[in-house]
Structure 1
């Protein structure tokens, strides 16, 4: 699939590594201009610099999705420098490692409350704050696309998945409400999930080898084809979809979509 996205502006959160970096690079390689949003620091600057060195229109956009002020500052930068965005990807997230850096599941009453809050504020409240910040620009144009990254339904409710699973469940419920409330403004909202454990920063560095022994980890590029499709003219007007990235080609076939 090859699409020319010249003049297409996207903001992707959690873009300094993992899914966010790969999705940014995919859109950039197809001509889009991308603001790579992540917490400020060297990691973000290095990630954006890698893509800028390839001659791509990547911008480092410092943003802590947990902070209303930080989100508002990022929105102001986009308004001043671009005037609008065509696509927002809510991807920033914290994994279960924030509250349990081992492979032994913790019961919900064993979870540290501060860790619980961090995960929920990033994976759920962060989606709200970022969408709340950027949606008015789309509403004003009566045009725009939002993609919220999620996880499997089983992960949302499985033992040992507090608070990661519930935080993703909340964000997905929010996505459904956003879909309904934004449709009259011509704004689409879709959910995208990998379809399995992936080799990203959501897995603690010290546990990756252990995970690789137990499961076939998906690559961080698993979302690339789906996000390119969702940015393309082929997805014009498509809303309320829940796309499992590893099964993307089957989803296209089921929908009768040829790319």
Structure 2
């Protein structure tokens, strides 16, 4: 593949799965996260699988931290082909029982609301804003912003997670238009259902086990590799659902 990709929030869950898939496809990959211990464990895990990745500490809420990552990429790689905005925190940060005991928005603390939006929405903006100058200099590049089902954006008890991802989708569509003339593609990718990640507490996983089966994070592998590849060049402003990827791609090429 020969692409250079940076994935935020890649020490576990969807981010780790996408980093694994990209590295396995031949991309040069940097995984980032704000927790150094989990980041080191993720890199070690990928190395044990025979995948060579770089690990960079990055807090998407901290502009100095982001700038350091941009500088590293510019110095060591000379540019970037794919930025995956994935870092985020979930509803469990404001309500650990969000799946079984939904909490109305008016009971959510202002601090909890701000912290989640700062990470899940403002973080996407800050990271993209910092890396786009590299893309503009190259006159090419790709950004993939990770999202979620529209149903969750309307679901009872899902403030502030729902609004944060709804905002990220609007941000993505506007970014796509702002960058279209520069040959820079911006797309959205989402699993297509509840996924077996740290976003869902273990206790809640046990409670919902009888209701539906959680998706594996590996569902993101095939679509993220496609979005990194030259075959998707010029595709922008799309919202791609991983569980429907095969059908979506067949329709695209028909």
TM-score range, shorter-chain basis?
Answer: over 0.9
Residues 77-92 of structure 1 correspond to what in structure 2 (within 5 A)?
77-92=72-87
Q: Which residue of 2 aligns with 1:138?
A: 135
Matched residues in 2 for 1:205 and 1:78: separation?
36
Which structure 2 residues correspond to residues 87-102 of structure 1 after superposition, within 5 A? 87-102=82-97
2:216 is the alignment partner of 1:219: yes
Unpaired stretches in structure 1, ≥5 consecutive residues: none
**Alpha-carbon distance in 2 for matches of 1:69, 1:205:** 34
Residues of 2 paired with 1:100 and 1:240: CA distance? Answer: 33
Question: Does 2:124 match 1:127?
Answer: yes
Q: 1:66 aligns with which of 51, 61, 84?
A: 61
Q: 1:205 deviation in Å?
A: 2.9
Q: From 231, 235, 249, give the equivalent of 1:234.
A: 231
Secondary structure of 2:217 counterpart: coil
Q: State the distance in 2 between where 1:215 and 1:56 align.
A: 33
Name 1:116's counterpart in structure 2: 113
| Farther off after superposition, 98-107 or 210-219 | 210-219
2: CA distance between counterparts of 1:232 and 1:242? 17
Q: How many residues align?
A: 252
Q: CA deviation at 1:235?
A: 0.4
| Structure 2: runs of 5+ lacking an equivalent | none
Distance 2:195 2:49 in 1: 26
- Separation in structure 1 between the aligned mates of residue 211 and residue 90 of structure 2, nearest angstrom: 18
Q: CA RMSD in A?
A: 1.1
The answer on whether the counterparts of 1:64 and 1:70 sit within 8 Å (CA) in structure 2 is: yes
Aligned residues of 1:175 and 1:189 also touching (Cα < 8 A): yes
Partner of 1:49 in structure 2?
44
Which stretch shifts more, 46-55 or 99-108?
Answer: 46-55
Map of 1:239-250 to 2, 5 A cutoff? 239-250=236-247
Q: Moved runs in structure 1, 4+ residues, more than 4 A? A: none
Question: 1:212: Cα distance to partner?
Answer: 2.2
- TM-score of the pair, normalised by structure 1: 0.94
Does residue 253 (structure 1) correspond to residue 250 (structure 2)? The answer is yes
